[in-house]
Amino acid sequence: MFALLICAPSLLPASLSLLRHTSLALADRRILVTAPRIEAAPLVAALVDESLMRLSDYDALLLCDQHALDVVVTRGTALADGDKAVLALMLRASSVEIAAAGPLSTRVAMSLGTPATVVPFETTPDSMTTALCQLRPGARVLLPAPALAGGGGDAGGATPEVQALIAALEQAGASVTSVPAYELVELDGGGGAPRDAELELLATGTVDAVCV
């Protein structure tokens, strides 16, 4: 996990002193923003690597969120000996469609060196299914997706959102291969211990709010 601590304006350099007089609701508030560290475990990394090396077996690479995109970039760049230009060539040579919705679609080109080619109007499973299956009927879809830590839930640990997306795609005739790209861990898992540090920061007044 990494954390970004946004300090109160009184702690900012003089060059940013204009923030002292802002009328924004979060002025003079210290907010701790937590986010998962995107580093695949060895087994997960191996599964992602194997899938990326067989991209030509698929018609579409469906990226459902920023973390999945980050994992594909990290593992794909590693397979390309650290050269993102080679990763872009790999993607183009595979002729795979890259599907992404919403703001994520605009970040694909910058991250992968090649643009998203399937961009639905809405960020819903049905909208993505319609856009993808109209372009590639019966598409073979590679879906790097989050999984619940410990394999909780149905479909091998797939989250409800991923399950809904897979169901919509398969109902439309697509064949989906879902690969765990990273794990989601409940903040309250293990008797609440994972949030003790955040609660301590709040109790001591070090921060005013924690976003998770």
- Answer for the pair 145, 180: CB distance below 8 angstroms, yes or no: yes
User: CA–CA separation, 30 vs 80, rounded Å?
Assistant: 41
In this predicted model, what pLDDT tens digit does every residue of 131-183 receive, in sequence order? Answer: 999 999 999 999 998 887 665 444 457 788 899 999 999 999 999 999 988 87
Highest mean pLDDT among 14-23, 34-43, 125-134, 192-201 belongs to 125-134
- Where do the H-state alpha helices sit in the chain? 42-53, 66-79, 84-94, 104-112, 125-135, 160-171, 196-203
What is the C-alpha separation between 44 and 46, in angstroms, rounded? 5
H/E element, 97: strand 97-99
User: Taking 60 as the threshold, does the pLDDT of residue 11 lie above it?
Assistant: no
How many other CB atoms are there within 10 angstroms of residue 51's CB atom? 21
* Alpha-carbon distance values, 193 to 6, 143, 196, 199, 203 (Å): 24, 32, 5, 10, 15
* Cα–Cα distance measured from residue 30 to residue 199, given in angstroms and rounded to the nearest whole number: 14
pLDDT tens-digit profile of 97-130?
999 999 999 999 999 999 999 999 888 889 999 9
In sequence order, what are the residues at sequence separation of 6 or more whose Cβ sits closer than 8 angstroms to the Cβ of residue 44? 180, 181, 182, 183
Is 50 exceeded by the pLDDT of residue 199?
yes
pLDDT: which is higher, 189 or 10: 189
Label residue 12 by pLDDT band (50, 70, 90). Answer: very low
Determine what percent of the chain is predicted with pLDDT higher than 90.
48
- Mean pLDDT score across all residues of the chain: 78
Query: Is the pLDDT assigned to residue 2 strictly greater than 80?
Result: no
- Position 196 scores a pLDDT of 72
State mean pLDDT over 11-18.
Answer: 39
Beta bridge partners of 61: 98, 142
* Residues 58-108: tens digit of each pLDDT: 999 999 899 999 999 999 999 999 999 999 999 999 999 999 999 999 999
Task: Identify the residue whose tokens are 């991923």.
Answer: 162
Looking up tokens 């459902």 gives 64
Cα 32 to Cα 208: distance, rounded to the nearest angstrom:
8
